[in-house]
Amino acid sequence: MFKRKDLKYDFNALEPFIDYATMDEHYNAHYKKYMENLNEAIVEDGVENLTIEGIIKRVISIGSKKLRNNAGGFYNHQLYFDNISPNNNAYENAGADLKALIEKDFGSFQQFKANFRSAGLDVFGSGWVWLVLIGDKLKIVKTKNQDNPLMSCNCKILLGMDVWEHAYYLKHKADRKSYIDDFFKVIDWKIVSERV
């Protein structure tokens, strides 16, 4: 059975950018519910022996809608909460390999940030924005609902940003742009770099 990862920081550690109430709701309600539903779905679909990555990579062909939504929700949130922290938030903390890729593929960090923000604003309804590495090239990818790029491409996910309303609505209301700007202030660039 799958279990949530423990947070490495307190719910109030990301304030003022992400508030305690949002973190509590996001981690203890949404992430928890995805975990509970996933554990039901793996039994129903007979895939208890697979890792979460194994399920994600094959979920379109092997699973039900319940498995797809909840495996994605569980995996995506696990990555999301690892992506952010009160530490290493300056882009200067990114590793040399990641910086070189961003310079090569986007021209500059500022251009990457602008493109990532634009993608986040462009997601209609609920979904995610991802920075992925395909071969030796970075790409920004959007997915709907709780899908993620591993479901459809052979890539590494480096960074994932949740743009479901539950990720920001308690603090930022309908201002998704403000949430995205604040999200960039809590990205742990050291963690992101370790995924390259």
Q: Are 56 and 75 in contact (CB under 8 A)?
A: yes
Mean pLDDT of 44-64: 93
Residue 120 has pLDDT above 90, yes or no: yes
Question: In the prediction, which pLDDT does 186 show?
Answer: 98
Mean pLDDT of 100-108: 98
Residue 63 has pLDDT above 80, yes or no: no
Residues 6+ apart with CB under 8 A from 113: 184
121-161 pLDDT, tens digit per residue, is: 999 999 999 999 999 999 999 999 999 999 999 999 999 99
**Class of 91-194 in CATH:** alpha beta
What predicted TM-score, i.e. pTM, was given to this entire model? 0.97
The alpha carbon torsion through 73, 195, 60, 168 (nearest 10 deg) reads 30
Question: In the prediction, which pLDDT does 104 show?
Answer: 98
- 20-83, CATH topology level: Helix Hairpins (1.10.287)
Question: In the prediction, which pLDDT does 62 show?
Answer: 87
Q: 3-state class of 141 per DSSP?
A: strand
Q: Do domains 20-83 and 91-194 have the same CATH topology?
A: no
Residue 103 has pLDDT above 80, yes or no: yes
157-181 pLDDT, tens digit per residue, is: 999 999 999 999 999 999 999 999 9
Q: What is the mean pLDDT of the chain?
A: 97
Domain ranges of the chain: 20-83, 91-194
